[in-house]
């Protein structure tokens, strides 16, 4: 079973590759259309800025490939910046269109006294709706976040995990073959590996 990890020069790709390999799956870092479309699962990871990332995806011709993979119903997982890119727009890059795979926007975490931005650290999850990624995971489980912007999904039904950090953050979404996590499952210890394993079983 081959897992295509989309390589568009974003940070944190290697740790995703390591986690997938640890779970006994073949991981391929790629921007090759055929490899992506032949994969059993596709992961869009990333750490960085929304505008730069969309520019790279366009530059490597990956935007149309991603849409093809999604249309083929290949299970597709966005992680951190990858989640944000799956939506329509981000306050981080006004005027830049995201991939538009799901309806919603990315906004900055609001300033609040005693709240550090970026949000870096472990936060517990609540599960507003049942999600396939979280089977076998107890509500209140902790996962690792690194971000300054967060998702406001238009459709509350797609939100499968949330956390609180000055506001309610939509931490994970799912619709059909689309999955995304604002947190880093590959850096979230046994809980994170279980989430990735659940994805790879779909």
Residues annotated as catalytic are 80, 184, 186
User: How far, in Å, CA of 49 to CA of 160, rounded?
Assistant: 25
How far is the CA of 118 from the CAs of 21, 103, 150, in angstroms? 29, 24, 11
Is-cis flag, bond preceding 125, omega within 30?
A: no
- For 94, other C-beta atoms within 10 Å of its C-beta total 9
List strand residue ranges (DSSP E) for the chain, in order. Answer: 2-6, 26-30, 41-44, 76-79, 89-90, 104-108, 119-124, 142-147, 149-153, 159-164, 168-175, 178-181
């Amino acid at each position: 079973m081959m897992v295509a990890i989309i390589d568009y020069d974003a940070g944190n790709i290697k740790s995703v590759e390591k986690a997938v390999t640890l779970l006994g799956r073949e991981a391929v870092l790629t921007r090759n259309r055929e490899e992506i479309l032949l994969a059993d699962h596709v992961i869009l990871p990333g750490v960085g800025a929304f505008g730069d990332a969309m520019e790279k995806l366009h530059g490597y011709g990956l935007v149309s490939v991603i849409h093809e993979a999604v249309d083929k119903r290949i299970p597709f997982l966005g992680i951190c910046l990858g989640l944000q890119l799956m939506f329509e727009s981000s306050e981080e890059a006004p005027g830049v269109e995201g991939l538009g795979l799901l309806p919603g926007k990315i906004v900055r975490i609001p300033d609040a006294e005693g709240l550090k931005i970026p949000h870096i650290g472990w936060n517990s999850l609540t599960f507003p709706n049942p999600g396939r990624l979280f089977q076998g995971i107890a509500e209140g489980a902790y996962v690792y976040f690194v971000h300054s912007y967060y998702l406001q999904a238009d459709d509350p039904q797609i939100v499968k995990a949330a956390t609180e950090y000055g506001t309610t953050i939509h931490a994970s979404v799912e619709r059909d073959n689309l999955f995304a996590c604002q947190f880093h499952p590959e850096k979230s210890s046994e809980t994170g590996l279980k989430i990735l394993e659940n994805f790879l079983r779909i």
